[in-house]
Structure 1
Amino acid sequence: MLAGALIADAARSDTTPQHTDTTGDINRNLNQAPHLFKLTAADPTVYQGGTLRGANEDTFPVLRGQNGAVYFVHLDVGGMREPHWHPTAWEMNFVIAGRAKWTVLGTHPDGAYRNDVFDAGPGDLVFVPQGFFHYFENAGTADPLQVLIVFNTSADETYDDIGIVAAFNSLPRDVLATVFGVPVSAFADIPGEIKPVVITKRP
C-alpha cells in the first residue's frame, strides 16, 4: 500500500503543481507594499524608562515573510530593557548614542554557562544569539541611550520575547524557594503578575 501511495503521489506531481512555499505571496507583497518606513517618526510605545518604535510585519507590511524587523529603543537615564530571551530569533544591536551596560548569558560548546558583561558605546555592535538570556541598560548619568535593533524575524517583538518577570512568576512560589534555597516567605512581597515589562527604570 505504501508503494502504491508513493507511485500515486509521483503521478500527481507530474500533472498538478504543488505549492510548497509562499515565495509568490511574498513577491506580490513586495510589489504592492510601500518600501519606506519613517522609523524614528513612528508613534512610540511609551514605558517608564524609555520608548520603543518598531518596524515589523504589522507596522511595515513589506517585511511580511522577509524574516526581518527593526526597533529603535530610547532609554532615559536609569532606563533598562527587561532581562529576557528570544526563543526563535537572534538580534543585532547598534548603539547610536549614549553608553549601554550589557549582560549576555548563554551556553557554550564546552557545556558551561558564560556570563558576558560589558559596556558598549556609539558605533558599537552587539550580537545576541538566539535563545541567549540578555539585558541592557543606560549606563550614563546624564544622556539618553539610543539603540537600533535588528531581528531575523518579521513578527512583533512581543511575540518572540520571554521576560524575566513573566518567567519568574509562572512558577509556584515553593518551587522558586526550593531553587533559590530560601524560605517561601522571601517571595511574599514580589508582585505575581505574568506580563511583559519590556522597558523599566531604576527607582
Structure 2
Amino acid sequence: MTANSSYLFRFSAATANEYDAGALKGAHEQNFPVLRGQEGSVYRIRLEGGGIREPHWHPTAWELNYVIAGRARWTVLGTHPDGNYHNETFEAGPDDLVFAPQGFFHYFENVSDTEPLEVLVVFNTSTQEPNDDIGIVGTVNSLPRYVLASAFGVPVSTFDNLPTDLKPVILSRRPDHPSQ
C-alpha cells in the first residue's frame, strides 16, 4: 500500500488561513493537482465562538455545507420564479447539510459564544476561496456613498464611518462578543 497518492489530500497537513474568528483550510487545484479541470474544491472552516462567515455570494458556483460539529445560524437570500426576494434564516447542527445556490447571497454564524463550529464546504468550482466570492464589505465599499444613501433612503452622512477597504473579511466575530 502506498503512503502517498495523487488522489489523497490530507487536511491535517494543509496550511490554514488564520483569522481572528477562526481558520479556513482548502483543497483546490492549486494545492491538490488532481482537481485541475474537475470543477471542484473542498474547504474546512472552523469558526470560534461568536464567529461569522462574511455575507457573500458566488457568481459561478453553488456551495454545499456539511456541519461537522457545533451549531450554525444560516441566512440565504435569493430570487425565485415569482420575482420576489426570498430570505430564510435557520439553524443547522451536526450531520446537517445546507445548500447555497449559485448567485444566492448567504452567510452563517456560530450560534455559540464559547464552542467552535466546524463546517466542511464543497464547491463546484476549482477556484481557490475567496477568488469566487463577492463579500458584502467589498460590495458596499465599491459603491459611492451617495448611491448607498439613495438606495437606503438615508442621508449620505449615514455612511461616513464605514471603512473603505475592498478586501474580503472572510471570518470575523460579532462586535458584542467578549473577545472583541
| Alignment TM class, shorter chain as reference | over 0.9
Residue number in structure 1 paired with 2:82: 110
Structure 1 unmatched ranges of 5 or more: 1-32
Residue number in structure 1 paired with 2:47: 75
**Alpha-carbon offset, residue 142 of structure 1:** 2.4
On the 8 A contact 1:40/1:53 being kept in 2, the answer is: no
Residue number in structure 2 paired with 1:46: 18
Runs of 4+ in 1 over 4 A off after TM superposition: none
On the 8 A contact 2:50/2:114 being kept in 1, the answer is: no
Residue number in structure 2 paired with 1:146: 118
Residue number in structure 1 paired with 2:158: 186
**Residue deviations 1:61-115 (CA, integer Å, cap 9, x gap):** 1100001100000000011100000000001000000000000000011111100
SS in 1 for 2:138: helix
For residue 124 of structure 2, what is the amino acid of its counterpart?
N
SS in 2 for 1:175: helix
Report the Cα distance in structure 2 between the residues aligned to 1:44 and 1:86, rounded to whole angstroms.
Answer: 21
**Residue deviations 1:44-76 (CA, integer Å, cap 9, x gap):** 100110100000000111100001100000000
**Alpha-carbon offset, residue 41 of structure 1:** 3.1
On the 8 A contact 1:86/1:130 being kept in 2, the answer is: yes
Q: Which has the higher contact order (CA 8 A, sep 6+)?
A: 2
> Is 2:103 aligned against 1:131?
yes
CA RMSD after TM alignment:
1.0
For residue 62 of structure 2, what is the amino acid of its counterpart?
W
SS in 1 for 2:131: helix
For residue 53 of structure 1, what is the amino acid of its counterpart?
K
Structure 2 unmatched ranges of 5 or more: 176-180
> Is 2:154 aligned against 1:174?
no
Compare CA radii of gyration and give the structure with the larger one: 1
**Residue deviations 1:131-175 (CA, integer Å, cap 9, x gap):** 000000001132100000000001102221000000000000001
Residue number in structure 1 paired with 2:8: 36
- Structure number with the higher helix fraction is 1
For residue 97 of structure 1, what is the amino acid of its counterpart?
A
Q: TM-score, normalised by structure 2?
A: 0.93
On the 8 A contact 1:100/1:145 being kept in 2, the answer is: yes
**Alpha-carbon offset, residue 34 of structure 1:** 1.1
Report the Cα distance in structure 2 between the residues aligned to 1:173 and 1:107, rounded to whole angstroms.
Answer: 26
On the 8 A contact 1:40/1:72 being kept in 2, the answer is: no
On the 8 A contact 1:95/1:122 being kept in 2, the answer is: yes
> Is 2:94 aligned against 1:122?
yes
Residue number in structure 1 paired with 2:178: none
For residue 130 of structure 2, what is the amino acid of its counterpart?
T
For residue 112 of structure 1, what is the amino acid of its counterpart?
N
